[in-house]
């Protein structure tokens, strides 16, 4: 039997090393995942590492390999927290709450599954528009992410950007579900994550924009008015997306914390130090935003970001305005 330990800290730095370690274990006849060393977790890594473990367990189960989980304890705060969020239910381990059991509030959003088929049940009847149903979920993330002194219009604007990212999953990724998670800590820092297990950014954009690498696709995806439907060979825009969701979140991360867009073998990272594409390992797409400090005038900053993006899109010949 082979045993591996989950990371002591579920954070950005641990995602790639642990992903590489998991990949080596796919064909091991009997494997034990030991969580006893895990002491700290953050939403982006929770979702990404969770999806990696989930995929590994599913593959091993289909191949009749044995996978054991050990080292869990309610007495370890990180385990209790992950259990409350629904993490272990997410990876099919009976420990803690099931997904959807914890309701969340304006301080945190537990792991929440957004299924296209479930959302469509809310659309007809009572005949809500799909974008309105998704907006309700986006507003929950925006409430966690927004500064406490933010006005309602600013929070709604932020929710529109998040809504567009969630809608991208159903329009572009070919995934039927996405997962979200968010946390605001007592020191005011906040982090949200959105993840899918779809085809990835590169495969989504490559035909519309003639791209060659994941890095090119990631760098293009955060430009304003970019989506698979806005390229010269793009598809029909069935959901009315304007291509500003990733742009808005990336600029907030650049100014106030960190923005991450991971897909395929690359993860685009933006913060005050600049922009870089790190080595990564995830087939779908993960979007993450961390704010280390609150903007003094959140509404004014969002307006400036949108105006700057609209001007940049115009200069690049993209006559697409942000969604109203």
Q: What is the pLDDT of residues 132-186, one digit of tens each?
A: 889 999 999 999 998 877 888 888 889 999 999 999 999 889 999 999 999 999 9
Confidence (pLDDT) at 228: 46
Pair 10, 37: CB distance under 8 Å: no
Question: Is 13 a residue whose pLDDT tops 70?
Answer: yes
Mean pLDDT over each residue of the chain, to the nearest integer:
90
- Which distant-in-sequence residues (6+ apart) come within 8 Å of 290 by Cβ? 42, 44, 189, 190, 191, 253, 257, 258, 259
Pair 260, 286: CB distance under 8 Å: yes
With 0.85 as the threshold, say if the pTM is over it: yes
Confidence (pLDDT) at 233: 44
Q: What is the pLDDT of residues 274-317, one digit of tens each?
A: 999 999 999 999 999 999 987 778 888 888 998 899 888 888 88
Confidence (pLDDT) at 229: 45
Task: Taking residues 42-64, report their average pLDDT.
Answer: 97
Question: Is 202 a residue whose pLDDT tops 70?
Answer: yes
């Amino acid at each position: 039997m082979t045993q591996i330990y989950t990371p002591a800290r579920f954070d950005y730095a641990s995602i790639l090393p642990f992903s590489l370690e998991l990949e080596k274990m796919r064909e091991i006849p009997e494997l034990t995942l030991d969580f006893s060393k895990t002491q700290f977790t953050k939403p982006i890594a929770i979702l990404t590492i969770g999806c990696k473990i989930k995929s590994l367990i599913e593959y091993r189960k289909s191949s009749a390999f044995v996978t054991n989980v050990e080292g869990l304890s309610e007495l370890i705060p990180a385990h209790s927290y992950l259990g409350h969020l629904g993490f272990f239910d997410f990876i099919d381990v009976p420990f803690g709450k099931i997904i959807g059991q914890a309701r969340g509030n304006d301080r945190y959003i537990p792991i929440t599954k957004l299924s296209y088929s479930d959302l469509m049940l809310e659309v007809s009847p009572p005949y809500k528009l799909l974008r309105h149903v998704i907006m309700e979920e986006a507003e929950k993330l925006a409430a966690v992410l927004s500064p406490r002194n933010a006005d309602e219009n600013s929070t709604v604007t932020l929710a529109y950007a998040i809504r567009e990212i969630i809608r991208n999953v159903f329009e572009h990724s070919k995934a039927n579900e996405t997962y979200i998670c968010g946390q605001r800590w007592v020191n005011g820092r906040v982090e949200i994550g959105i993840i899918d297990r779809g085809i990835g950014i590169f495969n989504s954009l490559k035909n519309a924009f003639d791209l060659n690498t994941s890095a090119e696709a990631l760098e293009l995806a955060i430009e304003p008015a970019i989506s698979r439907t806005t390229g010269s060979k793009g598809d029909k825009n069935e959901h009315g997306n304007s291509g500003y969701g990733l742009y808005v979140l990336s600029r907030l991360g650049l100014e106030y914390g960190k923005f991450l867009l991971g897909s395929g073998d690359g993860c685009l990272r933006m913060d005050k130090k600049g922009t870089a594409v790190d080595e990564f390992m995830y087939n779908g797409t993960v979007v993450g935003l961390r704010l280390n400090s609150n903007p003094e005038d959140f509404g004014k900053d969002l307006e400036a970001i949108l105006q700057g993006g609209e001007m940049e899109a115009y200069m690049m010949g993209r006559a697409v305005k942000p969604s109203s």
